[in-house]
Amino acid sequence: MTPVPVPADEPPKKRSAADFIFGKVIGEGSFSTVYLAKDIHTNKEFAIKVLEKLHIKKERKLAYVTREKEVLLRLASWNELFVKLYCTFQDVDRLYFVLTYAKNGDLLTHIKHLSLECVRFYAAEIIMALERLNIKKIIHRDLKPENILLDENWHVLLTDFGSAKIVKDEIEQEECGENSKRRNSFVGTAQYVTPEVLTDGNVSFASDLWALGCVIYQMVCGTAPFQAGSEYLIFKKILDLEYSFPEDFDSRARNLVEQLLVINPHERLGSCDVKPYTSIREHQFFSKINWHNLGKPPKIC
Ligand code: ATP
């Protein structure tokens, strides 16, 4: 059946859970369950993130959820590189986020099967996403392969903005209770956490560049650079910059990672660029990349 066209000046109708058929669970986060769902009016597939209000309240994560929505709305004007938030609604017990369905899952699932050509392509798309975040004054703070999703055409869709920081709101954030504690606390995932979070807590755009270095390392050799048996030992290795490269690690990729995994955030490649992240774009590792048109993603083996 052809859907009835909605006149351009008519605001979209408020959606509810009844407008969707909920299918399989496609992911579980600490505070959410993500379902594949179909819009009954258009047949279009979405990923719907469902959050239990009681759980959010109990874990005092309201600020986290609000932040995620705020950031996704800020990014909604871009139809690529980020998961798009189409709408939100709620019922008595739950909050619902209707998001782009990333059909090919997350980068972590595929990370052990990437050719160097793939690494270059995906690193370039992630950098373009970070450039856009920079324009919108957003620091992701939890960039990792699980949060880099892949759409039906294998392009990157960055997600999970619950830990993000909107730079312009810094003063407001520090004033409100729940967030004020976050400045010096560990936000993110142990293996990708930045040294500055572990020391003075001063997060900046360069923090995402450290995580980018970790992700590129992992895309090249399949494992994260800083690994140990406990969070404490991982943190120690990060602070000591204790990691090594396998012998067959591509030399240009190695040089790039070495310039991103730098303890001093101001010395990380790209951190002082007037136009972010020109110096990363110009790195030799990307000499084959046409930044005006990245083209189609190379096939993942
Ligand atoms: P975290 O524990 O990292 O805070 P969270 O509660 O914020 O998690 P998400 O990371 O957003 O939840 O989602 C959990 C999982 O659901 C993801 O790892 C991913 O596998 C899947 N997922 C989330 N969003 C989508 C999407 N738009 N398309 C496909 N799968 C998704």
What is the token pair recorded at 191?
């293996």
Q: Is 259 in the pocket of ligand 1 (CB under 6 A)?
A: no
Task: Pick the atom of ligand 1 nearest to 142's CA.
Answer: 3
- Cα of 50 from ligand 1 centre, angstroms: 10
- Of all protein residues, the one whose alpha carbon is nearest to atom 20 of ligand 1 is 27
Of 32, 82, 84, best ligand 1 pocket probe by most atoms within 8 Å of the beta carbon: 32
C-alpha closest to that of 188 among 24, 20, 64: 64
- Cα of 45 from ligand 1 centre, angstroms: 16
| Each residue's pLDDT tens digit, 40-99 | 999 999 999 999 999 999 999 999 999 999 999 999 988 899 999 999 999 999 999 999
pLDDT, one tens digit for every residue, the chain (301 residues): 444 444 444 445 689 999 999 999 999 988 899 999 999 999 999 999 999 999 999 999 999 999 999 999 999 988 899 999 999 999 999 999 999 999 999 999 999 989 999 999 999 999 999 999 999 999 999 999 999 999 999 999 999 999 999 997 554 343 333 343 344 456 667 999 999 999 988 899 999 999 999 999 999 999 999 999 999 999 999 999 999 999 999 999 999 999 999 999 999 999 999 999 999 999 999 999 999 999 999 998 7
Q: Is 47 in the pocket of ligand 1 (CB under 6 A)?
A: yes
- Of all protein residues, the one whose alpha carbon is nearest to atom 8 of ligand 1 is 29
> Does ipTM surpass 0.85 in this model?
yes
- Cα of 148 from ligand 1 centre, angstroms: 10
pTM exceeds 0.80: yes
Judge contact between 211 and 160, C-beta under 8 A.
Answer: no
Judge contact between 261 and 213, C-beta under 8 A.
Answer: yes
* Catalytically active residues, by annotation: 142
Vertex 26, ends 115 and 16: CA angle to 5°?
135
Task: Pick the atom of ligand 1 nearest to 162's CA.
Answer: 7
Q: What are the respective helix, strand and coil percentages of the chain, to the nearest 5?
A: 40, 15, 45
